């Protein structure tokens, strides 16, 4: 019999496989395999229902099992990692990181110590698409549009997009998620720079600094033309009271302004703490002398400043935008400037960047412009570069990023604790799907966790994603990872629900057992059906190793390594020997064997762990043993 690998090795190897990026599957077009979970669910809820879609999908095990992903382990030493080139060939080369816009040196140094860094600035969209399939990571600022075409062109190699800054409106997050590509940003390092730029625009606009500077340089001395307005005592409305907005508020308070803010998601006590009243959108825009924009560009904020909203503003209002050009309807702003509703505007950002040279807005005499300089201080750029380089290197190393944008975070300590259960979850999914008769559409899967922990302290998102991975990968050509698991399930019309059962055991272990049930399908192995007609298998982690502990109503105990034969027979002496002999004669090494029965002398189930796949003849011989009623060979 083969020896059992150490529990630690099994769990660590598999965890690495989840965190690393390559798969041995031959389809190199598949998205990569990262350990980040895309899930929109509340981890603390006991039952979670996911999408219902009219479509269903059918497993065809024989051909698809060959596509089962044997994920490669990350090489732990130095900075070398296993990766797969375009032809599916495994190499030990360093990852390639494409930096498509200027990044601070400290960040570049960090990246260079880890991988091959290709700094190619000003790539056309076509050139970016041409290059991207050779890259494991892409680092951008606001100037690179990371579109669906880019993810398609990446052919599954791109594992992480790092946005060296805050706004991720230039990255197609939906496409990234669908392709299993993690997106991380650097959300904190440029906050002060953006806030300071907002204040710079506010004060310089109020005193016509840019216009009077230009006029002096043109040889004029126009003191009466450039009389400004004072700030003290004026009302400033901050639209978007997040990191930048609140720093602008603090500074404006120091200038003696009365600051109000509108942000539907900001906590009132945080605003109150710095002496800012949170007000409605209408109240903010109708009472402010100055309006400073600090919300992200989303479908909800797109052109939120338009003819209608300008009409509601106080005549002579002054507008500052250091957020995103797209939140303003720029034609409407020109009209508002011409009519005097808006006395002045100071803009750092534009709907299209750079804006057309003849842009009426840019040319308007009451408008001050800067070319998206909010984050452009030496300090912010060094900070952002380091922040994004660390996040990207971490992601390529399979670590969880605190700044993942399209993947809820599972803290590293939770990940480490769940490591063996993650292996178990995937293997149970993989086994359960192979028990379905080819042609039966799978629509509904339930994962039942028995645990002594209260639901709030058990985060099952990782486990659910791995069950999903186990179910989908053998029957499709998609590599599932924790970014795209939920999305892929939805796409396949697969509804995955979860249930937690609190049991009276030691809360030291996060999970007592995991059960996977597939309902409304036929099974290739009828004994796997529980009383309610669902395919049902259950497993536990024992000494760090995943074990199969129940098949339908039968208790078994076999470690989930290698492959598995499930055999139902009449409970009688000599069966282990008979089947064991047949396997031995065919040189199939048996690693584990376990017999489970419901009633003595009636039917029993034999679960046999085998290293090799028995050939057809051997399988036929097993089927011909008189007491054997049914059997199935399953790949793990």
Ligand X SMILES: O=C(O)C(=O)COP(=O)(O)O
> Residues in the site for ligand NAI, rule: CB under 6 A?
166-167, 187, 190-191, 194, 239-245, 262-266, 294-296, 300-301, 322-324, 348-349, 372, 374-375
* 142 sits near ligand X (criterion: CB under 6 A): yes
Give the one entry of ligand X, ligand NAI, none that residue 296 binds, where binding means its C-beta sits below a cut-off of 5 to 8 angstroms depending on kind. ligand NAI
Dist. CA 290–CA 317, nearest whole Å: 6
* 491 sits near ligand X (criterion: CB under 6 A): no
C-alpha pair distances (Å), 308 with each of 68, 440, 583: 56, 55, 79
Give the one entry of ligand X, ligand NAI, none that residue 141 binds, where binding means its C-beta sits below a cut-off of 5 to 8 angstroms depending on kind. ligand X
Dist. CA 142–CA 165, nearest whole Å: 8
**Cβ closest to ligand NAI, residue 322 vs residue 342:** 322
Closest distance between ligand NAI and the C-beta of residue 449, in Å?
A: 34
* 141 sits near ligand X (criterion: CB under 6 A): yes
Q: Which residues contact 378 (CB under 8 A, 6 or more apart)?
A: none
Q: 3-state SS of 555-617?
A: EEEEECCCEEEEEEEECCCCHHHHHHHHHHHCCCCEEEEEEEECCCCCEEEEEEEECCCCCHH
Dist. CA 254–CA 496, nearest whole Å: 53
Two structure tokens written together for 10: 């099994």
Two structure tokens written together for 100: 């498509």
Instruction: Report the residue number whose CB is nearest to ligand X.
Output: 165
Dist. CA 187–CA 167, nearest whole Å: 8
Give the one entry of ligand NAI, ligand X, none that residue 14 binds, where binding means its C-beta sits below a cut-off of 5 to 8 angstroms depending on kind. none
Look up 324 and say whether it is catalytic: yes
Q: Which of 76, 105, 282, 353 is catalytic?
A: 353
Do residues 566 and 528 make contact, with C-beta atoms less than 8 angstroms apart?
yes
Total residues binding ligand X (CB under 6 A): 12
Do residues 429 and 193 make contact, with C-beta atoms less than 8 angstroms apart?
no
Closest distance between ligand NAI and the C-beta of residue 241, in Å?
A: 5
Instruction: Report the residue number whose CB is nearest to ligand NAI.
Output: 242
**Cβ closest to ligand X, residue 101 vs residue 277:** 101
* 355 sits near ligand X (criterion: CB under 6 A): no
x/- mask, ligand X, residues 177-216, rule CB under 6 A, reads -------------x--------------------------
Closest distance between ligand NAI and the C-beta of residue 283, in Å?
A: 13
Q: Is 240 left (phi over 0), alpha (psi -120 to 50) or beta?
A: left
Closest distance between ligand X and the C-beta of residue 166, in Å?
A: 4
531-562 burial by CB neighbour count: b if 16+ within 10 A, else e? eeebbbbbbbbeebbbbbbbbbbbebbbbbbb
Q: Tell me the sheet residues that pair with 203.
A: none
x/- mask, ligand X, residues 359-378, rule CB under 6 A, reads -------------x-xxx--
Give the one entry of ligand X, ligand NAI, none that residue 191 binds, where binding means its C-beta sits below a cut-off of 5 to 8 angstroms depending on kind. ligand NAI
Active site residues: 324, 353, 372
Residues that bind ligand X (CB under 6 A): 141-143, 164-167, 190, 372, 374-376
């Amino acid at each position: 019999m083969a020896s059992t690998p150490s529990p630690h090795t099994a769990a660590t190897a598999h965890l690495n496989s989840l965190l690393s990026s390559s798969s041995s599957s031959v389809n190199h077009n598949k998205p990569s395999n990262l350990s980040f979970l895309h899930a929109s669910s509340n981890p603390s809820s006991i039952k979670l229902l996911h999408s219902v879609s009219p479509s269903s999908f059918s497993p065809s095990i024989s051909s698809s099992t060959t596509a089962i992903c044997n994920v490669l382990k990350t090489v732990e030493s130095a900075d070398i990692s296993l990766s797969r080139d375009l032809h599916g060939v495994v190499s030990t080369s360093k990852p390639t990181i494409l930096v498509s816009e200027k990044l601070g040196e400290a960040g570049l140094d960090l990246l260079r110590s880890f991988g091959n860094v290709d700094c190619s600035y000003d790539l056309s969209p076509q050139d970016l698409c041409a290059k991207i399939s050779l890259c494991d990571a892409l680092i951008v600022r606001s100037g690179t549009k990371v579109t669906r075409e880019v993810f398609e062109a990446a052919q599954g190699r791109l594992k992480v997009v790092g946005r060296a800054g805050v706004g991720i409106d230039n990255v197609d997050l939906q496409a990234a998620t669908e392709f299993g590509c993690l997106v991380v940003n650097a959300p904190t390092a440029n906050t002060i720079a953006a806030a300071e730029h907002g204040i710079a625009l506010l004060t310089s606009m109020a005193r016509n600094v840019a216009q009077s500077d230009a006029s002096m340089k043109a040889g004029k001395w126009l003191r009466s033309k450039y009389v400004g307005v004072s700030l003290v005592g004026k009302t400033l409305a901050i639209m978007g009271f997040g990191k930048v907005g609140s720093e602008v508020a603090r500074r404006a308070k120091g200038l003696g302004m009365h600051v109000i803010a509108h942000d539907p998601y900001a906590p009132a006590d945080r605003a109150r703490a710095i002496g800012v009243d949170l007000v409605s959108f209408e109240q903010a825009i109708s009472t402010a002398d100055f309006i400073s924009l600090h919300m992200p560009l989303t479908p909800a904020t797109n052109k939120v400043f338009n003819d209608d909203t300008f009409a509601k503003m106080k005549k002579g209002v002054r507008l500052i935008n250091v957020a995103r050009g797209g939140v303003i309807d720029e034609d409407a702003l020109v009209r508002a400037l011409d009519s005097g509703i808006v006395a002045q505007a100071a803009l750092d950002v534009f709907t299209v960047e750079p804006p057309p040279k003849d842009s009426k807005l840019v040319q308007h005499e009451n408008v001050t412009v800067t070319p998206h300089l909010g984050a452009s201080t030496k300090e912010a750029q060094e900070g952002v570069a380091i922040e994004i380089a660390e996040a990207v290197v971490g992601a390529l190393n399979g670590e969880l990023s605190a700044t993942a944008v399209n993947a809820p975070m599972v803290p590293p300590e939770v990940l480490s604790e769940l490591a063996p259960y993650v292996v178990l979850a995937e293997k149970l999914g993989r086994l359960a799907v192979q028990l379905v008769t080819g042609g039966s559409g799978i629509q509904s899967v339930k994962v039942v966790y028995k645990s002594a922990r209260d639901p709030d302290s058990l985060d099952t998102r990782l486990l659910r994603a791995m069950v999903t991975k186990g179910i989908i990968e053998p029957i499709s050509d998609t590599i599932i990872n924790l970014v795209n698991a939920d999305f892929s399930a939805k796409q396949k019309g697969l509804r995955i629900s979860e249930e937690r059962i609190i049991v009276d055991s030691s809360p030291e272990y996060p999970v007592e057992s995991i059960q996977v049930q597939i309902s409304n399908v036929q099974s290739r192995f009828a004994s796997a059906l529980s009383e309610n007609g669902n395919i049902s298998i259950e497993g536990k982690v024992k000494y760090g190793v995943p074990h199969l502990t129940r098949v339908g109503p039968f208790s078994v105990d076999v470690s989930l390594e290698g492959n598995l034969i499930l055999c139902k027979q009449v409970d009688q002496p000599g069966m282990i020997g008979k089947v064991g002999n047949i396997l031995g004669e065919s040189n199939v090494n048996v690693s584990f064997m376990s017999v489970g029965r419901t009633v003595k002398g009636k039917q029993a189930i034999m679960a046999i762990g085998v290293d090799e796949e028995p050939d057809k003849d051997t399988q036929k011989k097993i089927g011909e043993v008189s007491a054997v009623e049914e059997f199935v060979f399953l790949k793990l």
